């Protein structure tokens, strides 16, 4: 047991609200650096205070989220569209970002879907933004390149699923019969002992541990999960867009949400989507019970860039009969999107070119057939 005189007060969980107050800034290479020392971000700002360091990191992460939103608005000229589209004044809302021509571009629309976790619209990985740079960790290079190539762009926000509010302090109720009281008593005791020991160790370490605010989550209607959000945005935005060719890029859990969309809207997706680029996708066609038609379509229209030690674009064995898998040229899951950047745009261009060639051939065949039938008709006269 730690003697009282060795104990320290845990500092309060109050952190700066801006990058400047944190004394960090992004340099010209998009790297986060300390204003005074020029050093990268240091997680262990205080030794032996892991919980405090983690809370500080999370506070910086919240600032990064707002910073990326600002970049989407100022650098990429994107605007928010709020969801649900018919939200009342007092219900929680979420939003997506759209380029000015997202709904009106007659030719191409790119839809970006991130993975799960703390990341919000415009981010692939918070860890990369903080420890590497903005290019690798955000979707901004994809948005900029897409706009240069004439795409409208939609940036989804699949992890913004609820509003977190402070819980009102109430006397703790007795466990309801719905709670799992049917587990063996000794198992319950072991669990209680374990939790009690963890609490004791923590409270023994600090003389004054900080109490965390208790919160509750109010789900956002029809957007309470990544899968719900992707379906909602398809129904209310993507399906209403003018673009003849829709392209989707999804990372990690975003791939699972895309496959769920296919399960729910198979024919619509097949009719509208030209190609899908996945990066280290978390989907599973068997667990998600996809149809044979979806699997066959994915074989033809999807490509999954996965973490691998093989060079970029090296074909890899398909693990399941769905989409082709190629190497992303990195073994780091969170880097797969950035490392595949050039290959993904090449893939989209090639698919579109092949589709346009096919359509041109069909048109010319139709014209030839029509003119020869007119010729025959004329000869008959």
Place of tokens 């040229």: 329
**What pLDDT is stored for residue 178 in this prediction?**
45
- Closest C-alpha to 125, from 55, 81, 72, 64: 64
Rounded to whole angstroms, the Cα distance separating 48 from 52 reads 9
**What pLDDT is stored for residue 169 in this prediction?**
60
Residue 174 included in any domain: no
Strand, coil or helix: 66: helix
**What pLDDT is stored for residue 315 in this prediction?**
96
Residue 72 included in any domain: no
Question: Which residue range is the domain that position 94 belongs to?
Answer: 79-164+218-365
**What pLDDT is stored for residue 180 in this prediction?**
47
Q: What is the dihedral of CA 170, 176, 182, 187, to 10 degrees?
A: 0
**81 forms bridges with which residues in the sheet?**
96
Per-residue tokens: 184: 């063996």
**What pLDDT is stored for residue 373 in this prediction?**
56
Q: What is the pTM of this model?
A: 0.85
Pairing of strands 245-251, 108-113: parallel
Residue 34 included in any domain: no
Residue 271 included in any domain: yes
**What pLDDT is stored for residue 283 in this prediction?**
95
pLDDT tens profile 315-344: 999 878 889 999 999 999 999 999 999 999
pLDDT tens profile 186-197: 555 566 666 666
Residue 43 included in any domain: no
- Tell me whether the omega of the peptide bond preceding residue 84 falls within 30 degrees of 0, making it cis: yes
**What pLDDT is stored for residue 201 in this prediction?**
54
CB of 245 closer than 8 Å to CB of 355: yes
Task: Answer left, alpha or beta for residue 125, where phi above 0 means left and psi between -120 and 50 means alpha.
Answer: beta
**What pLDDT is stored for residue 198 in this prediction?**
58
Residue 120 included in any domain: yes
SS3 of 82-136: the string is: EECCCCCCCCCCEEEEECCCCCCCCCEEEEEECCCCCCCCCECCHHHHHHCCHHH
Total structural domains in the chain?
Answer: 1
- Helices vs. strands in the chain: H and E counts, helices first: 12, 15
Question: Which residues does the annotation mark as catalytic?
Answer: 252
- Tell me whether the omega of the peptide bond preceding residue 147 falls within 30 degrees of 0, making it cis: no
Residue 48 included in any domain: no
Rounded to whole angstroms, the Cα distance separating 260 from 265 reads 9
**What pLDDT is stored for residue 177 in this prediction?**
46
Residue 49 included in any domain: no
CATH number, domain containing residue 222:
3.40.50
**What pLDDT is stored for residue 156 in this prediction?**
98
Per-residue pLDDT of the chain (381 residues; tens, 9 = 90+): 444 455 567 787 888 889 999 899 999 999 999 999 999 998 888 877 888 889 999 999 999 999 999 999 999 999 999 999 999 999 999 999 999 999 999 999 999 999 999 999 999 999 999 999 999 999 999 999 999 999 999 999 999 999 988 877 654 454 544 444 455 555 555 666 666 665 555 544 555 567 777 889 999 999 999 999 999 999 999 999 999 999 999 999 999 999 999 999 999 999 999 999 999 999 999 999 999 999 999 999 999 999 999 999 999 998 788 899 999 999 999 999 999 999 999 999 999 999 998 888 888 877 665 555 555 544 544
Rounded to whole angstroms, the Cα distance separating 43 from 5 reads 27
């Amino acid at each position: 047991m730690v003697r009282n005189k060795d104990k320290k007060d845990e500092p309060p969980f109050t952190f700066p609200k801006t990058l400047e107050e944190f004394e960090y800034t992004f340099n010209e290479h998009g790297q986060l650096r300390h204003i005074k020392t020029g050093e990268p971000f240091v997680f262990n700002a205080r030794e032996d205070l892991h919980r405090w360091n983690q809370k500080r990191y999370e506070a910086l992460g919240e600032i990064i989220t707002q910073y990326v939103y600002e970049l989407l608005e100022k650098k990429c000229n994107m605007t928010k569209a709020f969801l649900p589209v018919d939200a009342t004044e007092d219900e929680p809302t979420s939003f997506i970002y759209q380029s000015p021509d997202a709904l009106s571009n007659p030719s191409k629309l790119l839809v970006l879907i991130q993975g799960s976790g703390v990341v919000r619209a415009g981010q692939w990985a918070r860890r990369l933004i903080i420890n590497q740079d903005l290019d690798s960790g955000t979707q901004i290079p994809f948005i900029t390149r897409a706009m240069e190539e004439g795409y409208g762009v939609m940036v989804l926000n699949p992890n913004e699923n609820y509003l977190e509010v402070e819980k009102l302090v109430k006397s703790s109720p007795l466990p309801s019969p719905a709670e799992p009281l049917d587990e063996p008593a000794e198992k319950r005791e072991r669990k209680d002992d374990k939790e009690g020991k963890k609490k004791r160790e923590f409270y023994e370490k600090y003389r004054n541990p900080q109490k965390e605010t208790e919160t509750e989550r109010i789900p956002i209607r029809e957007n309470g999960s990544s899968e719900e959000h992707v379906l909602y945005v398809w129904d209310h935005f993507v399906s209403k867009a003018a673009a003849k060719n829709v392209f989707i890029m999804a990372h990690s859990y975003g791939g699972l949400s895309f496959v769920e969309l296919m399960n729910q809207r198979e024919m619509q997706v097949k009719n509208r989507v030209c190609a899908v680029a996945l990066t280290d996708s978390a989907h599973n066609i068997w667990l998600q019970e996809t149809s044979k038609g979806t699997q066959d379509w994915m074989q033809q229209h999807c490509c999954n860039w996965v973490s691998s030690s093989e060079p970029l674009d090296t074909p890899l064995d398909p693990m399941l009969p769905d989409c082709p898998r190629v190497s992303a040229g990195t073994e780091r899951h969170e880097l797969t999107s950035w490392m595949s950047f050039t290959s993904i745009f090449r893939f989209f261009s090639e698919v579109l070119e092949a589709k346009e060639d096919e359509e041109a051939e069909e048109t010319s065949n139709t014209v030839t057939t029509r003119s020869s039938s007119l010729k025959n008709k004329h000869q008959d006269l």
